[in-house]
A and B are shown apart, each in its own frame.
Chain A
Amino acid sequence: MYWLGINFYTVICTVSVLIFAAGIALRVAVSMLDKSNNIGDTEGCFDDYACSFESVAKRYDIGPDSARKFLIEFGDSGFDNDDSKAHAALRMNEDNDIYGELEDVDIPLFKPL
């Protein structure tokens, strides 16, 4: 197929390579910018502070309604409420749960004398 005397397929092939080259060029340039200008872009994460994991419930590949029901069932335990349903549900949950202990955080808490 020809357009203005040029093979149309050749044009598509050339454009695809140029797009690829442009993607690489932009990625390399932004990586260099990140290293150059974005200083100290790290912060404390979950593993740095979390320990004594009591119980976990997980659900994979579910519909939005099931996810919302999960949130209602297992969310907002309200620690001050001894009758918290969410707290109890999490402890009684048996499906898809993985019980485990996280290692204690290896930073001693500063305790004033």
Chain B
Amino acid sequence: MASLCKNCGGNLAFSPKRQALFCNKCGATFKPEDITAEAKELLADVEAPKASDIYGSRGSYDCSIYSCTQCGGDIVINDTEASTICVYCGSPAVVFNRVAKEIRPDGIIPFSVTKDLAQMLIKTHLKKGKFIPSEIKNASLDDIKGIYIPYWIVDCDFHDAVMVKGDVQEGKHKRTTYFAQAGEWTYQNLPCNASLRFNDNIGKKLEPFDYNEARDFDEDYLTGFYSDITDMSPANLRSAVLKRGDDMYREEVIHGLVNATKKSVVNSSPSVRIKEGEEVYLMIPAWFYTFRYKGMPHTILVNGQTGKTVGAMPFDRAKLIALTVAIFIALVFAGLLIFFGPIILLSYLFSPYIVSGFIIAGLTLGGSALRRLKQIRSNMNDTRSGSTFMFAKERQES
């Protein structure tokens, strides 16, 4: 199930450091394009049995059983996996007929961030985090997996109309009013996650990708990594593009309204026409590190091309409260020292307007802090997404 070394017959796996296929046995390197079809162990004629046929219907899930050609061990692959690693001998395994015959990707961005670098990037971020619990900081990071995620890159014509509600200042009062904006444009190279199992929100945070480094697809790039093929129908793709395009336009319209506050989109009416024949099916690299903290699943991702690290970490609530109280006490203490007792000064110098100003400023600062905290917790929901966790976890582990 993997290309073999011409010299010694060992399994070849793609090395991000060398940007070539590497033989662990003899140390030889080969470019994927140099591997001929005869050297590949094609499984075109082999149909793997379903797990339920072998193990019975108890606790079964959609998967097929292949035999590892190196050790003969069972390799369990679900309906969307295209490559994995044998749990018994660690050999890479690619389901060639799945990517050769079912839905063949047009291209692939090979991993250029090695496993060691991904671990170092994650560790650096975790170490810098003052509020990250120490048990997460000190974790070993061994359970990190390189996974190719299927993506559709599309060009499309987009039409959208958005209705926004906001508050405008009129003298001393605020008035609620509406804004509307419509337009037609083209989205170019719009990436859309092509796996229904992978969370869209966290996928968007892995961007941007440099498509200049994309290469024509070759199964050998998958060796040594996990990968999935797309399970999206054309209708799913259209819905995904529509949602992505509409979300971005809504943000653009909101951002453009500078004279209003408390802006929110009330409604929108998007439509899309994907330019047929120009969709590109691309495999995108990402490293996934999964762990559990207080029973909740968490995933940190690293863009396998650029090294961008993504993930909102759980925080130590006690530390946050302690820091807030410490800053508060420091400010009040500084006020006492500087003004020789704010109570005495306040009574003689502060007019009602200044007092109101302090209250409004304090409430505004506090309100924006709480909104930001809500945003952080919302980002944590994406990192804590069970689907992202299972996307990475439900794979054979070497």
Residues of chain A within 8 A (CB-CB) of B308 are 40
Q: Does B35 contact A (CB under 8 A)?
A: no
Residue pair A109, B153 in contact (C-beta under 8 Å): yes
Is A53 a contact partner of B185 (Cβ separation < 8 A)? yes
Question: Contact at B188–A49, with CB atoms within 8 Å?
Answer: yes
B296 → chain A, closest Cβ, in Å?
14
Min CB–CB distance A21 → chain B (angstroms): 4
Given contacts A80-B273, A107-B211, A109-B211, contact A56 B183 (CB under 8 A): yes
A74 and B249 contact, CB distance less than 8 A: no
B188 CB contacts on chain A under 8 angstroms: 49-51, 104-105, 107, 109
Q: Is B72 an interface residue (CB 8 A)?
A: no
Which residues of chain A have C-beta atoms less than 8 A from B161's C-beta? 70-71, 74-76, 86
When chains A and B are docked, how far (Å) is the Cα of A63 from the Cα of B206? 40
Q: Please tell me if the beta carbons of B331 and A76 are within 8 angstroms of each other in the complex.
A: no
* Beta-carbon nearest neighbor of A50 in chain B: B185
Query: How does the 8 Å CB contact mask read for A13-24 relative to B, with 1 for contact and 0 for none?
Result: 111111111111
Known contacts being A39-B309, A67-B163, A67-B179, is A29 close to B369, with CB within 8 Å?
Answer: yes
CB nearest neighbor in B for A61: B177
Q: Point out the residues of chain A lying under 8 angstroms from B300, CB to CB.
A: 39
For B2, list chain A residues within 8 Å (CB): none
Give the A interface residue count (CB, 8 A).
Answer: 80
B271 interface contact, C-beta 8 A: yes
Given A79-B157, A110-B280, A30:B372 Cβ within 8 A = yes
Once the chains are docked, how many angstroms separate the CA of A76 from the CA of B267? 12
B contact residues around A26 at 8 Å (CB): 324, 365-366, 369-370
Q: Mark B254-269, 1 if CB is under 8 A from A, else 0.
A: 0000000000001111
Give the residues in chain A near B157, CB-CB below 8 Å.
79
B271 touches A16 (CB 8 A): no
In the complex, residue of chain A having the shortest beta-carbon distance to the beta carbon of B157: A79
B177 engages A45 (CB within 8 Å): no
Given A14-B346, A19-B362, A27-B369, also A57-B182 (CB < 8 A): yes
Give Cα A16 to B207, complex, Å.
44
In the complex, are the beta carbons of B159 and A86 less than 8 A apart?
A: yes
Q: How many residues on B have C-beta within 8 angstroms of the other chain's C-beta atoms?
A: 100
Are B267 and A71 closer than 8 Å at their CB atoms? yes
- A46 contacts B363, CB within 8 Å? no
Q: Is the CB of A37 within 8 A of B131?
A: yes
Contact present for B180 and A71 (CB under 8 Å): yes
Name the one of B153, B159, B313, B350 contacting A77, with C-beta atoms under 8 angstroms: B159
Cβ of A41 under 8 Å from chain B: yes
Q: A33-B376, A40-B311, A44-B191 are in contact. Are A70 and B180 (CB under 8 A)?
A: yes
Q: How far is the CB of B357 from chain A (nearest CB, A)?
A: 8
Q: Does A34 reach chain B (CB closer than 8 Å)?
A: yes
Which residues of A in the span 55-113 have a Cβ within 8 Å of any Cβ on B? 55-64, 66-68, 70-71, 74-80, 86-87, 90, 102, 104-105, 107-113
Interface pair A22/B366, CB less than 8 Å apart: yes
**Contact present for B332 and A18 (CB under 8 Å):** yes
Nearest chain B residue, comparing its CB with the CB of A104: B188
* Residue pair B362, A23 in contact (C-beta under 8 Å): yes
Instruction: Tell whether, in the assembled complex, residue B179 and residue A21 are in contact, meaning their CB atoms are under 8 Å apart.
Output: no
Q: A23-B364, A39-B125 are in contact. Are A54 and B184 (CB under 8 A)?
A: yes
CB <8 Å contact, B182 and A90:
yes
Is there contact, CB below 8 Å, between B130 and A32? yes
Sort A-B residue pairs by CB-CB distance and give the 10 closest, nearest first: A75-B269, A23-B365, A13-B346, A40-B310, A23-B362, A19-B362, A74-B182, A79-B273, A75-B161, A20-B362
- Interface of B with A (CB < 8 Å)? 106-107, 125, 128-132, 153, 155, 157-161, 163, 165, 168, 177-191, 204-208, 210-212, 214, 216-217, 248-249, 251-252, 266-273, 278, 280, 282, 300-301, 308-315, 320, 323-325, 327-328, 331-332, 335, 342-343, 346-347, 350, 355-356, 358-359, 361-366, 368-370, 372-373, 376, 379
A-B contact pairs, 6 of them (CB 8 A): A23-B369, A31-B369, A36-B129, A50-B248, A58-B181, A76-B161
Task: Please give 9 more A-B residue pairs, beta carbons under 8 A apart, in addition to A16-B362, A70-B161.
Answer: A19-B359, A23-B364, A40-B205, A51-B187, A64-B165, A76-B271, A110-B212, A111-B280, A113-B216
